């Protein structure tokens, strides 16, 4: 991680660089602020700079072996401790942070702006993650050892507010009497939850919310196709939370892909039944089989989201017959799809059957049924329902 990759909080970066060049790096530091205020990226950027062998006055070189190791989170003198769920059945002897590390490393490399909330969700557990006794004992043990490369040993304690209170005192000695060139960086979203006797031994660095200007500049570079006015609206809606803004953009992008898939699919469903003779069109049937094969290879989350959006579009189309406008919070911007024209085929005579069909399909998919067969049956049945209103004219 480079300093230039960290958003905002330039005053914190300047302070870290000033302390480094003055050879006055505090051995214990607390980075605190909101969950998306860049504390972890800043910590990684600083440690990368600390280990870098060819650093400039303000940035890591990105080319030396230490930088390469930091970019992969494999540097032997960097140690992470973070909230986890207990997975050992017997009495804890091994640090859960060490056991979880391959998953943590993979997640961090994929998303350098990872938040505690995202990590907790990634653990797929109803229990609240925490930093427990075995982690702290392991930290103490490592802190007493020599560094692998003869320089600094760095401990990043991410989510420090989740340290189990009864075990917090374990940290007092290593923080109060650190070995030479040992650095502890505590990162917290809620510093009030950290034991006062520990907090009093740390130099605090506050991370403020990212400004609208910082967020606008970053998002325009990453998503140049999005208009400034829409970005500003997202910044306000998500209260300057960078992670939430990105999630919102990606969800909108995913929704657009699903809507385009829906349009392709519902057109095939409609064409699968010959409008005049009311028989199955085999040439279209082949394409429906191919489409069913394609969606069956995607993950279940996408399949379920597809069905949910399909239900929303059908509901919108039905209500449009009465309101002449989209009533659902969904945007359909495909020029090849006319929602008003589509609405003519969604009437009171078939809407309840369509909803029932989609609901049953949702249930079968969620129960890990054969998605290829399920979507195939859905498609042909829907094709018949889309023409049903013609019988009732």
pLDDT digits (tens, 9 = 90+) for 305-316: 999 999 999 999
In a domain, 196, yes or no: yes
In a domain, 245, yes or no: no
What residue has token string 């800043």? 42
Residues 194 and 215 in one domain: no
pTM score above 0.75: no
For residues 275 and 345, what is the distance between their CA atoms, to the nearest angstrom?
A: 12
For residues 117 and 136, what is the distance between their CA atoms, to the nearest angstrom?
A: 22
For residues 362 and 95, what is the distance between their CA atoms, to the nearest angstrom?
A: 41
Please give the average per-residue pLDDT across 99-115, as a whole number: 92
For residues 312 and 388, what is the distance between their CA atoms, to the nearest angstrom?
A: 20
Residues 195 and 178 in one domain: yes
Residues 73 and 217 in one domain: no
Single residue among 240, 259, 282 that ends a domain in this structure: 240
For residues 154 and 151, what is the distance between their CA atoms, to the nearest angstrom?
A: 10
364 versus 388: the higher-pLDDT residue is 364
* pLDDT tens by residue, 289-328: 999 999 998 888 889 999 999 999 999 999 888 876 655 5
In a domain, 246, yes or no: no
Residues 51 and 82 in one domain: yes
For residues 25 and 60, what is the distance between their CA atoms, to the nearest angstrom?
A: 17
- Residue 94: count other Cβ atoms within 10 Å of its Cβ: 13
- Residue 144: count other Cβ atoms within 10 Å of its Cβ: 11
On whether the CB atoms of residues 18 and 225 are closer than 8 A, the answer is no
Angle at 112 (CA atoms; ends 214, 131), nearest 5 degrees: 120
Residues 185 and 216 in one domain: no
In a domain, 7, yes or no: yes
Structure confidence at residue 280 (pLDDT)? 57
**CATH number of the domain encompassing residue 23:** 3.40.50.300
Residues 49 and 128 in one domain: yes
Q: Is the pLDDT of residue 334 over 80?
A: no
For residues 138 and 97, what is the distance between their CA atoms, to the nearest angstrom?
A: 10
**What is the distance in angstroms between the CA of the first residue and the CA of the last residue of the chain?**
66
* pLDDT tens by residue, 198-243: 999 999 999 999 999 999 999 988 888 788 888 898 899 889 999 8
The DSSP annotation for 151-212 comes to: S-EEEEEETGGGB-GGGGGGGHHHHHSPPTTEEEEEEES-GGGS-HHHHTTSEEEEEPPPPH
Name the pLDDT band for 277 (thresholds 50, 70, 90).
Answer: very low
Q: What would the two tokens of residue 334 be?
A: 């495909």
On whether the CB atoms of residues 360 and 243 are closer than 8 A, the answer is no
What residue has token string 């699919």? 265
For residues 335 and 328, what is the distance between their CA atoms, to the nearest angstrom?
A: 19
Name the pLDDT band for 22 (thresholds 50, 70, 90).
Answer: very high
Residues 334 and 198 in one domain: no
Residues 204 and 220 in one domain: no
Structure confidence at residue 393 (pLDDT)? 55
R_g (Cα) of the chain, nearest Å: 28
Q: Which domain holds residue 222?
A: 210-240
In a domain, 45, yes or no: yes
In a domain, 168, yes or no: yes
On whether the CB atoms of residues 305 and 251 are closer than 8 A, the answer is no
Domain tally, the chain: 3
Task: Write the burial class of residue 223 (CB in 10 Å: 0-12 exposed, 13-18 middle, 19+ buried).
Answer: middle
In a domain, 223, yes or no: yes
Please give the average per-residue pLDDT across 18-33, as a whole number: 96
Please give the average per-residue pLDDT across 127-142, as a whole number: 92
CA nearest to 59, candidates 48, 74, 43: 48
Residues 9 and 145 in one domain: yes
SS3 label, residue 268: helix
Residues 173 and 305 in one domain: no
Residues 115 and 171 in one domain: yes
What residue has token string 């702290």? 136
For residues 342 and 266, what is the distance between their CA atoms, to the nearest angstrom?
A: 10
Alpha helices in the chain (DSSP H): 10-21, 39-51, 65-71, 96-110, 116-122, 133-143, 172-176, 196-199, 212-222, 228-237, 242-271, 282-296, 300-323, 339-343, 351-366, 371-386, 388-391
Residues linked to residue 204 through DSSP beta bridges, in sequence order:
30
Residues 101 and 170 in one domain: yes
In a domain, 266, yes or no: yes
């Amino acid at each position: 991680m480079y300093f230039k990759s960290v958003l905002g909080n330039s005053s914190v970066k300047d302070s870290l660089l000033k302390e480094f060049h003055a050879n006055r790096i505090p051995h214990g530091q607390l980075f605190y602020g909101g969950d998306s205020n860049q504390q972890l990226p800043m910590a990684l950027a600083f440690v990368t700079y600390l280990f870098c062998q060819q650093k400039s006055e303000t940035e890591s070189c990105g080319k030396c072996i230490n930088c390469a190791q930091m970019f992969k989170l494999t540097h032997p003198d960097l140690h992470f401790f973070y909230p986890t769920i207990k997975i050992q059945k017997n009495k804890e002897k091994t640090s859960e942070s060490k056991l979880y590390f391959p998953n943590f490393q993979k997640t961090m490399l994929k998303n350098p702006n990872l938040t505690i909330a995202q990590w907790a969700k990634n653990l797929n557990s109803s229990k609240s993650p925490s930093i427990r006794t075995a982690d702290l004992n392991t930290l103490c043990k490592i802190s007493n050892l020599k560094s692998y490369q003869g320089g600094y040993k760095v401990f990043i304690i991410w989510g420090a507010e989740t340290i189990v209170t009864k075990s917090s005192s374990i940290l007092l000695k290593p923080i109060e009497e650190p070995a030479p060139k040992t650095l502890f960086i505590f990162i917290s979203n809620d510093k009030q939850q950290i034991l006062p006797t520990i907090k009093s031994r740390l130099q605090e660095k506050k991370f403020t919310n990212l400004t609208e200007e910082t967020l606008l500049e970053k998002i325009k570079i990453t998503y140049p196709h999005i208009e400034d006015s829409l970005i500003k609206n997202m910044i306000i809606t998500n209260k300057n939370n960078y992670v939430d803004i990105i999630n919102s953009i990606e969800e909108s992008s995913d929704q657009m892909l699903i809507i385009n898939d829906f349009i392709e699919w519902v057109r095939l469903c409609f064409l699968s039944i010959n409008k005049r003779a009311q028989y199955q069109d085999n040439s279209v049937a082949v394409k429906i089989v191919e489409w069913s094969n394609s969606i069956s290879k995607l993950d279940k989350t996408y399949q379920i989201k597809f069905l949910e959006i399909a239900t929303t579009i059908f509901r919108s189309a039905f209500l449009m017959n009465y309101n002449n406008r989209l009533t659902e919070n969904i945007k359909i911007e495909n020029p090849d799809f006319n929602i008003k024209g589509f609405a003519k085929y969604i009437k009171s005579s078939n809407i309840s059957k369509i909803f029932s069909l989609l609901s049953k399909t949702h249930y079968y998919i969620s129960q890990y049924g054969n998605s290829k067969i399920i979507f195939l049956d859905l498609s042909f049945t829907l094709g018949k329902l889309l023409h049903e209103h013609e019988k009732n004219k």
